[in-house]
């Protein structure tokens, strides 16, 4: 068990959080001292902060975690969804300097400092959630260096809005790479828009050999690898700003190859099918989102992280598309499939991590589609 450092009461560095609309909150610096900006979003997950912070879909976001304590069980080398922290900054109530998990490799604070991640703690996170819940998504800036609200607000004006922003290219792989057992019976091409590692694990665990392609990989490059199925990954940003990917996905769909889309992948697929997406007033971010599978009537508790969503009316008006999953809280689109083709996608994260494992069956269904199509 790693030794727990003796508690030394530290004088905390002051930090400020300023929102685009001028609201400001004072707290203490958590992690590295510096300045960070991005779109502020809140996640209500009570466990899994490390998986969440390393999820590339959070790229460009200042993430507010609603549970009272963050960092209690430190960080673990294997509980990462990418090569490092992907959020832009953290807002939380209590940031734990110590951790008690024997298998933990370091404290969250050490990881933050090592990777230069800026955070603010000891703020009224609940008040901030209520503020952005009512006012909607907006940009924010955290600083433990600059303590002037005016100056921070001025700097914030420079930050572009998330709407219309393409971010996948900032987090996806630059070079294609292989994942899993080369001798596996199925070959799946993963389009990396900011893929979470657990998607790769879930597929390879089910007997697939993967090649993960950068988002700008050409159709020829992908086809020449002879995939049996295509996985459209999750990722950050506005799907409406990814027309090249949409066009590419159109040709996947036309080719008759099984396709499975998750989150951003689901949105890109939807666009390829002619469905509209739009930015939500407040996204869904957490590990407790209720989804009903309309094909079975069964419900699943899902992990979600999206600020854009596919338009429900568009789905209902499209004769080729079937609504398969619906979000029970607000009746938004949670999953669709293309009639008569092995093509489907979900808005949420069946690979969870963080979150419940209720929806893993979707990977089984995809693998079945891929296998059937191969035969």
Partner 1 sequence: MPKDTSIKRVLIIGSGPIVIGQACEFDYSGSQAARSMKEEGIEVVLINSNPATIMTDPVTADKVYLLPLEPASIEKILSENDIDVVLPTMGGQTALNLAITCEEMGIWEEHGVRMVGVDVAAINVTENRQEFRELMDEIGIPMAPQKTAKSFLEGKEVAQEFGFPLCIRASFTLGGAGASLVHTAPEFDALLTRGLHQSPIHEVMIDKALMGWKEFELELLRDANDNVIIICSIENFDPMGIHTGDSITVAPAMTLSDTAYQRMRDMAIKMMRSIGDFAGGCNVQFAVSPDEAEDIIAIEINPRVSRSSALASKATGYPIAKIASKLAIGYTLDELDNQITKNTSAYFEPTLDYVIVKIPRWNFNKFQDSDRRLGLQMKSVGEAMGIGRCFQEALQKACQSLEINRNGLGADGKELTDQDQILHSLANASWNRLFHIYDGLKMGIPFKTVQQATRIDPWFLKQIEELIALERKIEKHSLDSLSKDLLYEAKQKGYADRQIAHLLRCLESEVYSKRADMGIKRVYKLVDTCAAEFEAKTPYYYSTFELENESIPSNNKKIVVLGSGPNRIGQGIEFDYCCVHGVLAAKECGYETIMINCNPETVSTDFDISDKLYFEPVFWEHIYDIILHENPVGVIVQLGGQTALKLAEKLSRYGIKVMGTTYESLDLAEDRGSFSTLLKENGIPYPDFGVVENAEQAVTLSKDLGFPLLVRPSYVLGGQKMKIVINEQELEHHVVDILQDMPNNQILLDHFLDGAIEAEADAICDGKDVYIIGVMQHIEPAGIHSGDSYAVLPPYNLGDFVMTQIEDHTKKIAIELGTVGLINIQFAIKDEKVYVIEANPRASRTVPFIAKSYQEPYVNYATKVMLGEAKVKDFDFKPVKKGYAIKIPVFSFDKFPEVNKELGPEMKSTGEAIFFIDNLRDPMFTKIYSERNLYLSR
**Which of the residues are catalytic?**
263, 349, 351
Q: How far is CA 8 from CA 5, 12, 191, in A?
A: 8, 11, 47
Among 15, 20, 30, 45, binds partner 1 (CB under 8 A): 45
List binders of partner 1 among 324-353 (CB under 8 A).
328-330, 352-353
In the chain, which ranges are continuous DSSP H helix?
49-53, 108-114, 125-135, 149-157, 168-171, 197-205, 219-224, 243-255, 264-272, 312-316, 361-374
Among 13, 22, 47, 219, binds partner 1 (CB under 8 A): 47
Shortest distance (Å) from residue 235 CB to partner 1: 21
| 274: region left, alpha or beta (phi > 0 left; psi from -120 to 50 alpha) | left
Among 32, 34, 35, 94, binds partner 1 (CB under 8 A): 94
β-pair partners for 262: 346
Among 39, 51, 238, 351, binds partner 1 (CB under 8 A): 51
β-pair partners for 189: 211, 230
Q: How far is CA 196 from CA 1, 19, 91, 192, 209, in A?
A: 29, 29, 22, 9, 16
In this complex, which beta carbon is closest to partner 1, that of residue 255 or of residue 331? Answer: 331
Q: How many residues bind partner 1 (CB under 8 A)?
A: 59
Among 298, 316, 339, 374, binds partner 1 (CB under 8 A): 298
102 lines the binding site for partner 1 (CB under 8 A) = yes
96 lines the binding site for partner 1 (CB under 8 A) = yes
Shortest distance (Å) from residue 28 CB to partner 1: 10
Among 174, 226, 297, 319, binds partner 1 (CB under 8 A): 297
In this complex, which beta carbon is closest to partner 1, that of residue 55 or of residue 228? Answer: 55
DSSP letters, 240-262, are GG-HHHHHHHHHHHHHT--EEEE
C-alpha to C-alpha distance for 344 and 320, rounded to whole angstroms:
12
Q: Are strands 259-262 and 229-232 parallel, antiparallel or unpaired?
A: parallel
| Chain residues that interact with partner 1, rule: CB under 8 A | 1, 4, 6-7, 9, 25, 42, 44-48, 50-51, 66-69, 72-73, 76, 79, 93-94, 96, 98-103, 123-127, 129-130, 133, 282, 286-290, 292, 297-299, 301, 328-330, 352-357
């Amino acid at each position: 068990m790693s030794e727990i450092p003796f508690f030394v009461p530290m004088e905390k560095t002051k930090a400020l959080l300023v929102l685009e609309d001028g609201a400001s909150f004072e707290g203490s610096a958590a992690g590295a001292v510096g300045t960070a900006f991005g779109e502020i979003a809140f996640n209500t997950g009570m466990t899994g902060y490390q998986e969440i912070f390393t999820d590339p879909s959070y790229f460009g976001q200042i993430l507010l975690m609603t549970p009272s304590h963050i960092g209690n069980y430190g960080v673990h080398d294997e509980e990462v969804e990418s090569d490092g922290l992907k959020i832009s900054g953290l807002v939380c109530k209590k940031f734990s300097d110590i951790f008690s998990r024997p298998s933990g490799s370091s404290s969250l604070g050490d990881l933050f400092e090592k990777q230069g991640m800026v955070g603010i703690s000891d703020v009224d996170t609940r008040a901030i959630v209520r503020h952005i819940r009512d006012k909607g998504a907006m940009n924010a800036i955290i600083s433990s260096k600059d303590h002037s609200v005016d100056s921070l607000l001025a700097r914030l004006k420079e930050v572009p809005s998330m709407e219309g922003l393409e971010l996948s290219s900032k987090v996806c792989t630059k070079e294609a790479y292989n994942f899993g057992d080369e001798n596996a019976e199925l070959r799946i091409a993963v389009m990396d828009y900011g893929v979470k590692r657990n998607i790769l694990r879930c597929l390879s665990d089910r007997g697939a050999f993967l090649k993960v392609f950068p988002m700008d990989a050409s159709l020829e490059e992908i086809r020449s690898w002879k995939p049996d199925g295509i996985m459209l990954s999750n990722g950050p940003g506005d799907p409406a700003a990814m027309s090249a990917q949409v066009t590419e996905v159109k040709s996947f769909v036309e080719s008759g190859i099984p396709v499975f889309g998750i989150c951003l992948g689901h949105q890109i697929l939807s666009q390829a099918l002619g469905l509209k997406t739009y930015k939500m007033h407040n996204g869904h971010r957490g590990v407790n989102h209720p989804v009903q599978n309309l094909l079975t009537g069964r419900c699943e508790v899902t992990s979600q992280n999206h600020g854009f969503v596919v338009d429900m009316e568009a789905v209902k008006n499209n004769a080729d598309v079937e609504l398969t999953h619906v979000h029970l809280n607000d009746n938004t689109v949670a999953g669709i499939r293309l009639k008569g083709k092995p093509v489907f996608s979900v808005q949420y994260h069946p690979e969870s991590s963080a979150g419940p494992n209720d929806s893993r069956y979707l990977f089984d269904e995809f693998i079945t589609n891929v296998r059937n199509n191969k035969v």
